[in-house]
Amino acid sequence: GAVVSQHPSWVICKSGTSVKIECRSLDFQATTMFWYRQFPKQSLMLMATSNEGSKATYEQGVEKDKFLINHASLTLSTLTVTSAHPEDSSFYICSARDLNKNIQYFGAGTRLSVL
């Protein structure tokens, strides 16, 4: 079964609203989680590294005030897309590293459509 749970899997929202996406590691604790974005037929682009108990590290070009990340516990990270606009429509995927297995597992992804 899935070891990383991501919710919701699909969301439609109006322009200007905010959307929160949750990512949970189910079978292990994750001090670090990652948020990716993927456009159709393109590869995954890392947006930010979520660190438990401290601020997230954003990749160059990613607006930290627009994509708010909170890593509240060792099993939960959230990504909030604030004041969403149609250009934010994309497939957002989280991942977490299982230190015992040294493998990074992915959530099922969230398809965001902003109208």
Partner 1 sequence: GQNIDQPTEMTATEGAIVQINCTYQTSGFNGLFWYQQHAGEAPTFLSYNVLDGLEEKGRFSSFLSRSKGYSYLLLKELQMKDSASYLCAVRDFGNEKLTFGTGTRLTIIP
Binding site for partner 1 (CB under 8 A): 6, 32, 34, 41-46, 49, 91, 93, 95, 97, 102-109, 111
For partner 1, the closer CB: 40 or 86: 40
Q: Which is nearer to partner 1, 100 or 102 (CB)?
A: 102
Could you tell me the CA-to-CA distances from 9 to 71, 73, 89, 98 in Å, in that order? 19, 21, 13, 22
Buried-state track 15-39, b at ≥16 Cβ within 10 A, e below 16: eeeebebbbbbeebebebbbbbbee
Q: Minimum distance from CB of 94 to partner 1 (Å)?
A: 9
Q: Indicate the DSSP class of residue 59.
A: P
Query: CB of 63: closest distance to partner 1 in angstroms?
Result: 19
CB of residue 87 to partner 1, shortest distance in Å: 20
